[in-house]
Structures are given as C-alpha cells and as structure tokens.
Structure 1
Amino acid sequence: MRIKPIIITRSLTSNSVSTAIRKSAQQLIAKQAQGMKFEAFAGDVIFHKLQDSLKKQLSKVYPIRM
C-alpha cells in the first residue's frame, strides 16, 4: 500500500525544512504501519487517526496545516 501524504505548511519554508518534514513523515508512517495489520492501518487512514498523529509530530518541526 502506498501512502502519499500532502503536507501543507502555514507559510513558506526553506528547502531544508521541507526535506526534514518529508523524511519525518516517511519515518512516522513506516513506523506506524510496521506494527499493524493492513485492515487496522487502512482504518486509521480512513478515520484520520494517522493524519492527526502526523500533524502532532510534524508540527514540532514546523507548523503544519492539514
């Protein structure tokens, strides 16, 4: 299953911040998907649990608008 998140920041960011956000998102998604069955992970995506946890973690790097 491929997950392609669309991450929008509150204002313009430098390339280094954008790269850090993308790498963090990839790591967090892989970490969450690793310990779950497909049905449970798909449910988290559908019911926005994955998006909420991503927003909490990625907002520490730079404010996110999702």
Structure 2
Amino acid sequence: MRSPRRAERRTGRGTVAFKEKFLFRRRAALRVVLERAAARGELAAGTDVELLVDIVYGVL
C-alpha cells in the first residue's frame, strides 16, 4: 500500500498545500510586523521589507 503523503510529495500537491497553508500566511504576518516597524521608524528608511521576509523564510 502506498503512502498518501509520498504521493503528495511526488505530485507536488503537498508542496502547494504547505505553501498555501503555512508559508504564505506566515510571510504575510511577518510582512505586516516589518511594515509596522518601518512606520514607527524602527527600521532604517528605505529598508526593503520584502527582502527581509525572503531572508527569514528563504530557507523554506
């Protein structure tokens, strides 16, 4: 009997689900936090918030 998870990995459905249910939500939440920090002046002017998000979640 084949594992459903193995089939998901093979077809990429597991990857899509991971991105949609986990990664995209957390990236969006971090983006909000960093944008608020920038608005308060806690980040240097011109800081690339999207780059910071990529740095934090780039490994995933």
- TM-score scaled by structure 1? 0.47
Which structure is richer in relative contact order (CA contacts within 8 A, separation 6 or more)?
1
Structure 1 or 2: more strand by fraction: 1
- TM-score scaled by structure 2? 0.50
Q: Which one has a bigger Cα radius of gyration? A: 2
Structure 1 or 2: more helix by fraction: 2
